Amino acid sequence: MLLHGHEIKGSNIDQETRCSHYHTEIDRIAIKFYCCDTYYPCHSCHEEKGCSHPQVWPKNEFHQKAILCGACGYELTINEYLACNASCPSCKSAFNAGCSLHKHLYFEV
């Protein structure tokens, strides 16, 4: 799916990057996976449709843009995302704070 000028891969993606695995109102980000440089709504979508070689973003790359706000299309750096208090710095749309429980699947911790 093409969304805000970016290709998003995954399962049943809507217009704000929600997928079949995470689809509440506040599930509105996509994460660019380090291993394949491709946006997915979640780790489960990457497991199903990704490169099959998952790798997390190393800390020295946290300045890279790797999070896409599904509401407005703003791309956040990883540092920006980790410090954003679960809302988009551009449009103020809420993100799912529970995603922090999975950060070890995306980022070096």
Domain ranges of the chain: 2-105
Q: Categorize the per-residue pLDDT at 11 as very low, low, confident or very high, splitting at 50, 70 and 90.
A: very high
Number of neighbouring beta carbons within 10 Å of residue 91 = 11
Task: Give pLDDT tens digits for 12-66.
Answer: 999 999 999 999 999 999 999 999 999 999 999 999 999 989 999 999 999 999 9
Residue 16: closest CA among 97, 70, 61, 83:
70
pLDDT at site 52: 85
Residue 96: closest CA among 31, 47, 36, 45:
31
Cα gap 107→11, rounded to integer Å: 22
**Cα dihedral sign, 18-22-24-29:** negative
Task: Give pLDDT tens digits for 90-107.
Answer: 999 999 999 999 999 999
pLDDT at site 82: 97
